[in-house]
Structure 1
């Protein structure tokens, strides 16, 4: 069989594929050995000669979770038709959830027309037939899943043992410390960052509120924990990166509560909710592992206690879940959402007291004035989009009535197919010469081919037009909701407004959503309320 697309070489090594003592397991499961094993296998297959190979690697990802970057990229390429064969070392590298692995083997990959080969399991989906082979693979996958759960328990147990011995287990040091070059499980004080930690605790002990501490650090351009760690070359990522890095009340709170600054090793504060999941659940304090005197403290017991007493003395208010609402009113300086003031009469940037930036302080506006202005602009935009929508619907309706043309072409093809049969009959009976027969046949065949090419194109146009008309109906319903608004509603306005930047002084900028086929116009609109008043 000639392979036309690429071959996918998939390699996975879990962070749990380590021995409980923290050392790497045998070379047979390392990335290097997997690559060598698969490459040698592909090189020996005559059918794979001169076929390009794409490598997909997930280093440090659990097999119980299929949300791995390399795996997802490979499946995207498979759905796009760029690969036709997947080669793996064994099924434990593909995944350790036997239900999900079975789903990929029996449904997903066959549907995509992708062949999978597991070298060590002696499995090739092209040659797999009968019940016995399927039962064998299912059994192996179940064993892999059981092994993964057992391995997770062993790893957690081993890491707990290391923690009880006073070893620092997290991959990154806590702000204020660096890892000892001679022992990665031991922390040593980082003098520069430690000074900031002591400053935070001292200010808190003196009664300075957490928001004011954050503002002080921002005003004095002190690098945030993430910025400082990146500067030190420590790899750190964040799901949502803000343009301006700022100290926040949450960061200050977490720092003040962290007992690592007392020279303690604290472990098992949280646990993985379910094996393979990324969700964490909190453990009760009595289940924590706390070992004292494992490294040099940055603050004293007295300062730690005083800072926490002053910072968290107030009784906590009962939690009331807030109704989720979309943020559209934004500060153009720090990119944070605007909040109502205590009086509820105006919007302002809530970070202004922390950033100390004049731009944040200026980002404020009267509530009624801002809401009425945005609402009026939204209604105008709704009228504009609705008018444009009606024009497009007329074009799509014209396309959708091409069914008559489609019927005509189908009838013509049927007639020409009958003519081909008659031409041959006339030629056999002598009514047509050979040259006449060939000439007429070529003309007829060519026309049938043109019709065969034209019919699917028209069908696609009709289907696309119908789809757009249906979408237009749904869009019009959204527009009607906005047009019917009697008061400001962020959740409704969010359907056409991406952001509203409030610059202060009556000047705002509305960023319209541009992610659909019904919108035509400028992406943003700048409005000066003062100018509108003067008109």
Structure 2
């Protein structure tokens, strides 16, 4: 009777970590399988082969093709160098080798493990199961070890992603370091600039598309980089979108801070990726050149917090998010309508009034009245002029900009503490990696490893909590100093203004309260809270 045999070979990076020669190579596995089949006098029909696939991966192309052919009874025997080539997953071992193959009368042979289901008894089955468990444990340990190494790199501020963030390039001399991309970085700056000027997310996306500026995916493709599964890419994939702009505006990486660990795999067995809570992200400050300065970043984040909506033309009203009703403290919304030109509604010119959002829902819910944008702008300019005459005294400015030596001393102390705590965390992570290798080599027991590992982790956690507090204090001091130093620049910039825009409003004004007309004076009550 002719026996129809097939072989299966597999190699992945997990195997390269275990070996020191090419004995596990696809070529050598195939030679071993061919020699074995020939000695048995069987007919070798085909060798299925998956290169660069994990043994726990259930989506291996040739592996699944082999299973499909097995169900169609195209062969009688499957031969592998060893069982781990077939799978490093006890669930797959049990399902197929000890289940489906036996039911379908398919014989399985693992040459070096001396596993042959044609001669399997209770003892040999346990050996097969033990191999499966050992391989599963190995993958779990390997996955955990790799995760620890990656986290150590992240905490050192080393960039470990496959591709650089849009706006940056990987340093040719150090792949874990980012340098500014002179082309894409200018687009990043333009996006932040447009947003501050009052353009909405989709408006910015539309402008970029109209100018035929490649989006991050298209730019990556044009640079000759690998862009992932092409089957999922459509013509729309190369267009800028509002949500892409939104993510860029909130990415601290553009301030020169390394932000990693935002996503993670559910398990080493799964390709599913989930989001990590923000307080668990790994953020290391000042690791690479900044594209966006602190002032621009803060301005954008303040706008983002207000969650203002753009007008129909995609432009955000300069007062949006800054107006509140003095009567009920609710936000006031802009209502825009076309101007009447010779009895015809204009398509390009608009009038704008602001109304209490509460009153818009129910007319008698608030006693406030609306205000036109023109009247409000004139009032703000008038108040700003009065404010300048009183406040912008040169001696007063000099006094306000004085920063005591004590603040600098405090800043120096906190920077020193930050450096010390980062060093402690790095040393702790290195100690865990060394400890793990000692356990693998059998130099310490599992119990000793667990006890020492727990102690080190507690020390790392304590240092990380202390580091968070230091960084919070450091950021507060740095920001306050920054605010004071830059106050003179703001003063000089807006001293002689005669027309308002979104940038000026964001720089100078915290909130404007709009009230009713004063019964005695007949003037509108408007209270401005400045950012000073």
Q: TM-score, normalised by structure 1?
A: 0.52
Change (3 A) 1:80 1:37: same
1:205–1:308: 8 Å Cα contact kept in structure 2?
no
Change (3 A) 1:176 1:107: same
Distance in 2 between the 1:192 and 1:47 partners?
Answer: 64
Change (3 A) 1:202 1:112: farther
1:118 aligns with 2:110: yes
1:56–1:74: 8 Å Cα contact kept in structure 2?
no
Distance in 1 between the 2:241 and 2:67 partners?
Answer: 39
Q: CA deviation at 1:257?
A: 1.9
Change (3 A) 1:144 1:192: same
1:98–1:145: 8 Å Cα contact kept in structure 2?
yes
1:173 aligns with 2:172: no
1:241 aligns with 2:233: yes
Q: CA deviation at 1:103?
A: 0.8
Q: What does the per-residue CA deviation read over 1:484-513, in whole Å, with 9 as the maximum and x for residues that have no partner?
A: xxxxxxxxxxxxxxxxxxxxxxxxxxxxxx
1:285 aligns with 2:284: no
Partner residue, 1:9? 8
Partner residue, 2:211? 220
1:157 aligns with 2:148: yes
Change (3 A) 1:216 1:181: same
Change (3 A) 1:211 1:102: same
1:260 aligns with 2:253: yes
Partner residue, 1:272? 265
Distance in 2 between the 1:185 and 1:262 partners?
Answer: 17
Count of residue pairs the alignment pairs up: 306
Q: What does the per-residue CA deviation read over 1:371-428, in whole Å, with 9 as the maximum and x for residues that have no partner?
A: xxxxxxxxxxxxxxxxxxxxxxxxxxxxxxxxxxxxxxxxxxxxxxxxxxxxxxxxxx
Distance in 2 between the 1:180 and 1:116 partners?
Answer: 49
Q: Describe the SS at the equivalent of 2:25.
A: helix
Change (3 A) 1:259 1:95: farther
Q: CA deviation at 1:38?
A: 3.9
2:4–2:43: 8 Å Cα contact kept in structure 1?
no
2:264–2:276: 8 Å Cα contact kept in structure 1?
yes
Q: What does the per-residue CA deviation read over 1:458-507, in whole Å, with 9 as the maximum and x for residues that have no partner?
A: xxxxxxxxxxxxxxxxxxxxxxxxxxxxxxxxxxxxxxxxxxxxxxxxxx
Distance in 1 between the 2:164 and 2:272 partners?
Answer: 22
1:140 aligns with 2:131: yes
Change (3 A) 1:165 1:235: same
**Runs of 5+ in structure 2 lacking a partner?**
310-532
Q: What does the per-residue CA deviation read over 1:206-256, in whole Å, with 9 as the maximum and x for residues that have no partner?
A: 221101111111111111211111121211124632233311112112222
Q: CA deviation at 1:3?
A: 3.6
Distance in 2 between the 1:87 and 1:312 partners?
Answer: 62
Change (3 A) 1:25 1:106: closer
Q: What does the per-residue CA deviation read over 1:277-327, in whole Å, with 9 as the maximum and x for residues that have no partner?
A: 2223332333221112222222222222322332453299xxxxxxxxxxx
- One of 274, 293, 296 as aligned partner of 2:289: 296
Q: Describe the SS at the equivalent of 1:172.
A: coil
Q: Describe the SS at the equivalent of 1:143.
A: helix
Change (3 A) 1:34 1:292: same
Change (3 A) 1:3 1:228: farther
Change (3 A) 1:124 1:255: same
Give RMSD over aligned pairs: 2.7
Q: CA deviation at 1:188?
A: 2.0
Q: Describe the SS at the equivalent of 2:306.
A: coil
Q: What does the per-residue CA deviation read over 1:355-386, in whole Å, with 9 as the maximum and x for residues that have no partner?
A: xxxxxxxxxxxxxxxxxxxxxxxxxxxxxxxx
Q: TM-score, normalised by structure 2?
A: 0.53
Change (3 A) 1:287 1:103: same
Q: CA deviation at 1:102?
A: 0.9
1:8–1:74: 8 Å Cα contact kept in structure 2?
no
Partner residue, 2:122? 131
- One of 49, 54, 60 as aligned partner of 2:47: 54
Partner residue, 1:209? 200
Distance in 2 between the 1:277 and 1:247 partners?
Answer: 30
1:488-503 matches, cutoff 5 A: none
1:87-126 matches, cutoff 5 A: 87-126=79-118
Distance in 1 between the 2:149 and 2:40 partners?
Answer: 46
Q: CA deviation at 1:84?
A: 4.1
